[in-house]
Amino acid sequence: MNKPTVPMSLKEDHERWSQVCGAYTAFVAALLIATIAKSNEYPRAYIVIALLASSLPSLVALVFLDYHVRVVQARRKSAFRGLAAGLGFLPSLLGIATLIGHFSLIGGVLFLLLTVFWSLSIFGVAVGASGDPDSTI
């Protein structure tokens, strides 16, 4: 039987998103430090460092914008929040793929393809099933 879902409050929704985004930001920061420490061993480490470093301010801004948009202003959408997400996630994912590609080109390409696939799948489930309790997505 399908149990009716209790919608999360805006604050609970923000807290969950904040934890996920904060963990990802910490991962990117740790990867940046590790790449800087081993930069002499990677021929294109400067590309990875530039991509990871440029994504960090946007990832931090995303957490703060999310709080102000979702909790303080009680809105679900914001162009600035979307911009911060794009400028935070895209360069960091490209940096991770570049680093993986240093060791395995196939691994780097598969990482990007699977990231795009699962991002679209999650988006499809979140949007496609919203509001329909009988959805099979």
The structure's pTM equals 0.81
In the prediction, which pLDDT does 58 show?
95
In the prediction, which pLDDT does 4 show?
46
| Cα-based distances in Å from 68 to 20, 82, 132 | 17, 13, 28
CA distance 82 to 67: 13
61-79: burial string, b at 16+ Cβ within 10 Å, e else? bbbebbbebbbeeeeeebe
Tokens of 105: 């080109």
Residues of the chain scoring pLDDT < 50 = 1, 4, 6
In the prediction, which pLDDT does 120 show?
87
In the prediction, which pLDDT does 5 show?
55
In the prediction, which pLDDT does 61 show?
94
In the prediction, which pLDDT does 11 show?
79
The ranges assigned to domains in the chain are: 10-104
In the prediction, which pLDDT does 1 show?
47
Contacts of 56 (CB under 8 A, 6+ apart): 25, 28, 29, 32, 88, 92
In the prediction, which pLDDT does 2 show?
53
